[in-house]
Structures are given as structure tokens and as C-alpha cells.
Amino acid sequence: MNNLENKKILLIISGGIAAYKSLELIRLIKKKGATVKSILTKNSYKFVTPLSVASLSQEKVYSDLFDHENEAEMDHISLSRWADLILIAPATANIISKLSLGLADDLASTVCLASNKKILIVPSMNVRMWEHQKNKENINKLKSFDYSIIGPEIGDMACGEYGEGKMTEPKDILNYLSEYFKNINNNKKYKALVTAGPTYEFIDPVRFISNKSSGKQGYEIANSLKKNGFETTLISGPTNLKDIEGVKMVKVNSAKDMYEATLENLPTDIAIFSAAVSDWKMENFNNKKIKKKGDLSLNLKQNIDILSNISKHNSLRPKLVIGFSAETDNLSENSIRKLEEKNCDWIIANDVSDNSIGFDSDYNEVTIFYKKKESEKISKMKKSLIADKIVERVISDLN
């Protein structure tokens, strides 16, 4: 199967000696039936010409952010939206540094900053530049922004030195692109459901029982599933987060609402229950605001267990059911017990007693407990990267 057929690749060529390899890369991508539009940085003109790039791609070449012809035909926003994927090859230390800082002083950096598409970077530089601590920091920052890095390779360099920093060969980049689109195409056959955020259990018309969940981890998981080709539904309790483009959004308040919305969106192949559902609700809801008259006692009863009900459902149970476990102590013991009692396939546990991770933080650290294999820990990183790690394992499990 040709995974690149009819795909649209936006290639950014920066000013490194390896820029000549991008000409071969264009030829290989075109041969696979994809369309390639190119952006040349100012320094790349010293190594390749717009004419050679245009001749191979058979498309107009873009370079100047303030070119009235380019902006009239396709501005930096629509150029980003046109592409299925943005590829920077070669990516010099300079453009890597600019992107890590969020600079937008030319067309290439502006397109990347304005992009809502996957960005792949193919580094190419001297071994000492690659190994420099600042460059490593820049690479790690780009990874946290959801950029993917291809290479570099180890070998002889144009400067005469030997080491890591060589641009990955065009045929290997092509294989990476093919595998990337293959995974997305394969995943389109799967439906995924994610729950996120807290639930509100109302005491009276103005007061409710809830928790500190921000919904960030669940939203990141839904976004990662969408990026990887899954048809994704996100059922969200009350949060301050923006809707995710391309994801079916269902907004709810209470656990009862969330459970009913979950049933309405089944069957599905994968269900990831990351929502922090309130464990208790009022025995009797007060239709009028309770007036302040000294101490107040509340009669609470156990709330519906969404994870357990879906995981034990005879006909609607998804192929893969994943629950979350927010713990303050005995993380392993409590999570393993939850895995068994609720009949789910995985439990993803985190220690919410650490305020630097978990609730309302942009970072998390989790341990995944599997029903059929040993647990594994994913060390502290941004929730977006945690989500990508989880989705990688979901894809591996399904395939």
C-alpha cells in the first residue's frame, strides 16, 4: 500500500550543507504520489536554488514573509492549513533555536508557530553543535511542543569531523513518513471515547460537590488520539479548556450525565476514563438555596461507578478499557485492586499528593498497571507527552 498517495507535505529547507539532500527527498516524495510545497529560508539560497526546488516539486516555492504575491495567493496561515504534515529538512541549529524560542521573523518560523499540523524535524549540524547543552535543551523543548525528531545519524561530516549530526538519508526519511501515515490510516478504523474533568454533584441550585481535576490530561489524550487518526469523542465535565478541533465534544455536569453520555456514544473500540468522577452525591437535592443557619450536615450516597459499569457491560464493553487512579498513598496496592475489581484492562495511576504533577498541573507522572503484563512507569513530563506515550501503547495493543 502506498501510504503517501495524495498526501500534502510542506517542506522547509534551512541553510545547511545537507540542503542538497532535500532535492532527492522531494523527488522521492513526488514519486510516491504526494504533493510537495517548499519554503526556503534566506540562508538555504546559498546551497539550493528556488529553480531547482520548483523544477523537482512542480510547485511554487515560498520564501519571503512579506512577498505581496505570496501573501495574496496563499498566506502563512493557509499554507500551514493546506499541509497534512510539515517537514523541516535539513533543520540547522539556528532554526531549531528559533523554533524553541517561538520566534516568527521569517516565513518558515511564522508558518511553524501558526501551524496546527504535525511538525517533523530532521537535524543536520556539526557534532559539537549537536552535542552542545543549549542545543539539547532546544531539542527537548521542541519535543515538549509535540515536534518529532528524525535522526541525526553518526558518520563523516562535510567539515571533516566524525560523529552524530549527519542529516538522515532521504530514503530513510521517506520510510518514516510512510510509517507515520500508515499508522494514521490504520487507526481511522478505530473509535475512541475519553472522559475528562471533574463532575459537579449539586447540593442546591448554587452549591456542589466536586474535586480539583482540571481535565488537562484527558483533553491531551483525546487530542493525541485525534492526531493519530482515531475517530474520537471527548465527554467532558466542567473545565476551562478549549474544545479540540476534530474531536466530538460532549459537555456534561454530573456523574449521571457523564454515564448517560457514555452509553449514548457506545459502542467504541477504546474507552479511556480519565475523568475524576465524584464518588458521592446528595441523598436529596434541595430545590432552593440552603440558608446559612449554623452548622450543616449533608446526607450523601455513593455515586454511579462509570468505569465499573462499562467495563463489566455484557454487550457494550469496548475492546480496550482504561481507567485512571488518583492516589495519595499505597499507589500500587490501590491501583492493582482497582484493576481487578473494575474488570478493566489497564489502570493509569498517579500520585496526586505531589502538587507539581496531577491535578491542575501541566505535568504528570504515571504508572500503567496492565492486566496481562508487568506495570511500567512513565517519568514526569508534560501531560501532552504523557498522552502521546499512552496513545503509542494503545496503538501497539490494538495492532
Does residue 76 register a pLDDT over 80? no
Dihedral of the alpha carbons of 112, 117, 118, 121, in degrees to the nearest 10: -20
What pLDDT, on the 0 to 100 scale, is given for residue 343?
Answer: 94
- Comparing 292 with 95, the larger pLDDT belongs to 95
- State the pLDDT confidence band at 70, using cuts at 50, 70 and 90: low
Q: Which helix (H) or strand (E) holds 281?
A: strand 280-282
Q: Return d(Cα 52, Cα 318) in angstroms, integer.
A: 52
Fold of 188-398: Rossmann fold (3.40.50)
Quickly state the pLDDT bin for 110 (edges 50, 70, 90): very high
Q: In the structure, what pLDDT confidence band is assigned to residue 75 with cuts at 50, 70 and 90?
A: low
Task: Indicate the range of 190-194, 216-220, 291-295, 353-357 predicted with least confidence.
Answer: 353-357
Q: Which residues are catalytic?
A: 159
Q: Is the Cα torsion angle 112, 116, 122, 128 positive or negative in sign?
A: positive
Residue 264: predicted pLDDT = 97
Q: Cα dihedral angle (269, 275, 279, 283), rounded to 10 degrees?
A: -90
Asked whether residue 67 carries a pLDDT value surpassing 70, the answer given is no
- Domain parsing of the chain, residue ranges: 8-185, 188-398
CATH topology match: 8-185 vs 188-398? yes
pLDDT of residue 95: 97
pLDDT, tens digit (0-9, with 9 covering 90-100), for 255-271: 999 999 999 999 999 99
What is the residue-averaged pLDDT of the chain?
A: 92
Give the fold, CATH level 3, of 8-185: Rossmann fold (3.40.50)
DSSP 293-316: -S-----EEEPP-HHHHHHT-TTT
CA distances from 397 to 346, 391, 394 (A): 11, 10, 5
pLDDT at 278 (0 to 100): 94
344 pLDDT above the threshold of 70 = yes
Annotate 67-104 with b (16+ C-beta within 10 A) or e (fewer): eeebbeebbbeebbeebbbbbbbbbbbebbbbbbeeeb
Confidence check: pLDDT of 68 > 80: no
Task: Give the CA count within 13 Å in the CB-facing half-sphere of 177.
Answer: 35
What predicted TM-score, i.e. pTM, was given to this entire model? 0.84
Q: In what order do the strands lie in the sheet with 376-382?
A: 248-251, 231-236, 191-196, 270-273, 320-327, 346-351, 363-370, 376-382
pLDDT (mean) for 110-116: 91
Give the rounded percent of residues in the chain with a pLDDT score beyond 70.
96
Band (pLDDT 50/70/90 cuts) for residue 249 is: very high
pLDDT confidence of residue 159: 75
pLDDT band at 78 (very low <50, low <70, confident <90, very high): confident
Q: What is the pLDDT confidence band of residue 399, given thresholds at 50, 70 and 90?
A: confident
Q: What pLDDT shows up at residue 73?
A: 53
Confidence grade of residue 119 (pLDDT, cut at 50, 70, 90)? very high
Least reliable range by pLDDT among 76-80, 99-103, 163-167, 377-381: 76-80
Tell me the β-bridge partners of 327.
351
Confidence of residue 72 (pLDDT cuts 50, 70, 90): low
Of the listed ranges 9-13, 33-37, 245-249, 358-362, the one predicted with least confidence: 358-362
Over 70: is that where the pLDDT of 66 sits?
A: no
> pLDDT by residue (tens digit) across 272-282?
999 999 999 99
pLDDT-derived band at 214 (thresholds 50, 70, 90) equals very high
